[in-house]
Homo-oligomer: A and B are copies of this chain.
């Protein structure tokens, strides 16, 4: 997995250093935006007839919003959290690991780490280049559909992420 991953990792945003005198800062995703994105993802999936749960975490993988949609299966909240956590900690879509976990046993082994789930449906949320959180969507009939709903959630707030 090494060469192609290197580039993705290099995109990891550096927290803004506001000056030599001051502590660096991290942009925060307000609850209002986090809930709007999560609700948007649930609604997008619902429009497609899919019953899902959605979790939004901050840049550190800490939960800000968890929503269990009507009729969503009981595993979806945990699945959505793991996808959001995984997207945040690697700052890349969880679907990007699909080939690696098939072909590289060491990469697959990383799923023994707490909360890691390398299955599509998790996306990082960025304000410009800075990671500010991630969203995970679970319960749709296909990992690509989970990712599409997650993206629809981000789209609801993307113009205010700066």
Contact = CB atoms under 8 A, between A and B. Distances in A.
Interface of A: 1-2, 5-6, 8-10, 12-16, 21-31, 35, 39, 42, 49-51, 58, 60-71, 73-79, 82, 85-86, 88-91, 98, 101-102, 105-120, 127, 132, 140-144, 161-162
Contacts of A42: 31
21 contacts: A6-B142, A14-B71, A15-B28, A16-B25, A22-B162, A23-B30, A23-B161, A25-B25, A30-B70, A31-B42, A31-B68, A35-B67, A60-B74, A63-B66, A73-B90, A74-B88, A75-B86, A78-B113, A101-B109, A107-B119, A113-B117
Contact of A27 (B6, B24, B109, B127): B24
